[in-house]
Amino acid sequence: MSHHFDSAADRADGRISPCDLYAFPATSGTTALILTVNPDAGRSSPTTFRPDALYEFVVASNAGTSEDIAFRITFTAPDDHGRQQVRILRANGPDARHGTEGTPLGEGRTGEVFPLGGDGLAWAGLAADPFTGDGIAIGTFLQGLTEGRYTPEVFTASPNNAFAGRDVTAIALQLPDAALGSTRIALWARISLYGHAPQRQVSRIGQAMLRPLFFNPPDTEAELDALNAGAPAADLDTHGERVRRIAGTAARLAGLSDPDGHAERVAAAFLPDVLTYRPGQPAAFHPGSGDGNGRALGDNAFDIAVAVLAGSTLGNACVPRLATPAFPYLSAPQPADLPPLIDYFRSPQGSSR
């Protein structure tokens, strides 16, 4: 939902389907970066990472859109028990923009916390999905906009968290704030395939909810592919009109006084597709707000993003899961007897989510 199964390639292989990106203060003087992938791991997706994939946390230390730091994570093929070796590298300057090389920071095994150089920590493995969201409500609301109807009541009529009882795989790093290069940064994550052919970026994520609010398959598959393969610098020029059109429609149907101005503010809030973050300051997800800072595991990104689109809080009873107190801060996997989530995303209802 935040980014779960957002494209045909992601639905074909959940190991390259990012779900959510988080950045928040951890222990004193450190920052936690978390990327979740493999939506509904163990049912709709594997519980391992792809060995020919490069997973990266990317930093623009001037809070812009040109990266100058990349933390690169790779995995070996899983052993007979499903465990993988994990390797963390750091690339700086122009080397951060492309490639697979970097300075080694540490190595370990999935499911285990291991140290990184410079007092850092790393972990990768299976965890409960921290995201909450009502897939039925957002699909119904967006369908109403396309049909000229404004239906905010769908968010409170019968709230349903589509992600309750579902798991993801996650990569978590805990880094000294100084390792991020500045007191205000822009952050995103990307996944590339490499080894058998020239390196190719297949997905990226910064903002929660950009895709489900503004890119609805199957009619936008080509635009989604371009978004996932692109870079933040081109986002506003390439995708701004789409975001403005949908936001303007919502504003007019809601009776807002300045629909065009609202549409511009929404486009500026969601694009470029990056998280801005000030190390050491409390985390709070809020696109386009001067009060926003990164994203904490307990932030209700679903409600917040819908409110930015609508221009008012519409409300939802899906309560986010709070972080656990110790690194990697994610809750343990939560096996439950549920149908695969991918069935929903492949259904006509899910395709208009």
Contact indicator for 38, 55 with CB cutoff of 8 Å: no
Integer Cα distance of 251 and 208 in angstroms:
21
Mean pLDDT of 294-321: 86
Q: Write the Ramachandran bin of 99: left for phi over 0, alpha for psi from -120 to 50, otherwise beta.
A: left
Sign of torsion over alpha carbons 206, 211, 215, 221: positive
Indicate if the pLDDT at residue 1 is higher than 70.
no
Confidence of residue 353 (pLDDT cuts 50, 70, 90): very low
Residue-wise pLDDT for 56-66, tens only, equals: 999 999 999 99
Residue-wise pLDDT for 339-352, tens only, equals: 877 666 555 444 43
Contact indicator for 185, 63 with CB cutoff of 8 Å: yes
Pairing of strands 120-128, 114-116: antiparallel
Contact indicator for 251, 244 with CB cutoff of 8 Å: no
Residue-wise pLDDT for 70-92, tens only, equals: 999 999 999 999 999 999 999 99
Residue 183: Cβ within 10 Å count: 13
Mean pLDDT of 143-154: 95
Mean pLDDT of 98-112: 97
Integer Cα distance of 136 and 139 in angstroms:
5
Mean pLDDT of 272-287: 95
Question: Among 98, 141, 106, which residue's Cα sits nearest to residue 124?
Answer: 106
Contact indicator for 72, 88 with CB cutoff of 8 Å: yes
What are the backbone angles phi and psi of residue 228, rounded to the nearest 5°? -70, -30
Indicate if the pLDDT at residue 6 is higher than 70.
no
Q: What percent of the chain has pLDDT over 90?
A: 74
Confidence of residue 291 (pLDDT cuts 50, 70, 90): confident
Contact indicator for 129, 344 with CB cutoff of 8 Å: no
Token couple for 179: 């390792």
Contact indicator for 120, 174 with CB cutoff of 8 Å: yes
Contact indicator for 322, 302 with CB cutoff of 8 Å: no
Top pLDDT among 260 and 352 is at 260
pLDDT at 218: 65
Pairing of strands 275-277, 200-205: unpaired
In this prediction the pTM is: 0.94
Contact indicator for 124, 75 with CB cutoff of 8 Å: yes
Residue 149: Cβ within 10 Å count: 11
Residue with tokens 């975001």, as numbered in its chain: 243
Mean pLDDT of 334-343: 76
CA distances from 34 to 57, 121, 177, 297, 300 (A): 9, 12, 15, 9, 16
Mean pLDDT of 282-298: 90
pLDDT at 268: 96
Residue 91: Cβ within 10 Å count: 22
pLDDT at 351: 40
pLDDT at 322: 64
Q: What is the DSSP letter of 163?
A: T
Average pLDDT score over the chain = 90
Mean pLDDT of 258-273: 97
pLDDT at 19: 94
Residue-wise pLDDT for 187-241, tens only, equals: 999 999 999 889 999 999 999 999 999 997 666 788 888 999 999 999 999 999 9
- Please give the helix or strand (H or E) that residue 77 lies within, else none: none
pLDDT at 189: 98
Mean pLDDT of 1-19: 74
Bridge partners of residue 88, in order along the sequence = 73, 106
Indicate if the pLDDT at residue 278 is higher than 90.
yes
Within its chain, how far is the Cα of 261 from the centroid? 27
